[in-house]
C-alpha cells in the first residue's frame, strides 16, 4: 500500500499506478544511506582515515558510508569522487538526502565532501580535532564554498527508477 503522498500523486495522474514500489525503494535507499551516515556521528577525524575504529577524513567517511549502504565503492579522494563516472551533477537547489555535496575548503574545487541529509544540512568529517557531525550549508562559510552536488542514479531519483522499470515519466 503506497503512502498518502504517493497515492495522491497516482490518483492525480502525476505518477503511474505501478510507481508505488519504485518510489518506496527510492526512499528506502536514500533513508538507509542517511541513517547509516548518522551511525558515525562523533567518530573522530583522522587524515587518511577510512574506518570507524581509526577515524575518518571527509572522503574516507563518504566512501565508507556508500560502500556499507549501497555496495558502491567511491574513489578515495574528494575531487575524484566529484568526477566519478556514473554520478549525476546536481545543483544546490536540486539536492536530496543521500547526495554528495562538495566544497572548496583548501583553495581548490572539490577539496571537501559530505552527504546531504535534507533541510539544508549535511554530515561530514570536518578536520583535525573534530568529529563527524552535521552542519548547516546555509551558514556563510559553507554557502561561499559550495562547489556542487553529485547523485547516484536510482538512490533518490524517481525518474531514473521509473526509466529502469520501463515506465514513462509523469507529466
Q: Which of 64, 108, 112, 144 is catalytic?
A: 112
Q: Is 144 a catalytic residue?
A: no
CA 137 to each of CA 97, 131, 149: distance values in angstroms, whole numbers, following the listed order: 13, 17, 12
Residue with cell 526512499: 27
- Concatenate the DSSP letters of all residues of 94-155 into one string: G--TT-EEEE--SSSTT-EEEEEEETTEEEE--STT-BSEEEETTSHHHHHHEEEEEE-TTT
Backbone phi, psi, residue 65, to 5°: -65, -45
Q: Is 58 tagged catalytic?
A: yes
**Is 64 a catalytic site residue?**
no
Q: How far apart are CA 105 and CA 127, in angstroms?
A: 10
Q: Which residue has the cell 533513508?
A: 31
- Catalytic residue list: 58, 112, 124
Amino acid at each position: 500500500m503506497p503512502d498518502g503522498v504517493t497515492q495522491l500523486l497516482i490518483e492525480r495522474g502525476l505518477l503511474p499506478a505501478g510507481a508505488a514500489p519504485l518510489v518506496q525503494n527510492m526512499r528506502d535507499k536514500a533513508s538507509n544511506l542517511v541513517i547509516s551516515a548518522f551511525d558515525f556521528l562523533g567518530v573522530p577525524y583522522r587524515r587518511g582515515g577510512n574506518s570507524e575504529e581509526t577515524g575518518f577524513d571527509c572522503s574516507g567517511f563518504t566512501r565508507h558510508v556508500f560502500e556499507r549502504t549501497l555496495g558502491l565503492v567511491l574513489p578515495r579522494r574528494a575531487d575524484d569522487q566529484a568526477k566519478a563516472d556514473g554520478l549525476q551533477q546536481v545543483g544546490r537547489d536540486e539536492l536530496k538526502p543521500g547526495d554528495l555535496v562538495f566544497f572548496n575548503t583548501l583553495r581548490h574545487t572539490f577539496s571537501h565532501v559530505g552527504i546531504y541529509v535534507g533541510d539544508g544540512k549535511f554530515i561530514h568529517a570536518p578536520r583535525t580535532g573534530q568529529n563527524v557531525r552535521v552542519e548547516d550549508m546555509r551558514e556563510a562559510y559553507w554557502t561561499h564554498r559550495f562547489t556542487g552536488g553529485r547523485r547516484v542514479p536510482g538512490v533518490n531519483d524517481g525518474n531514473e527508477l521509473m526509466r529502469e522499470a520501463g515506465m514513462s515519466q509523469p507529466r
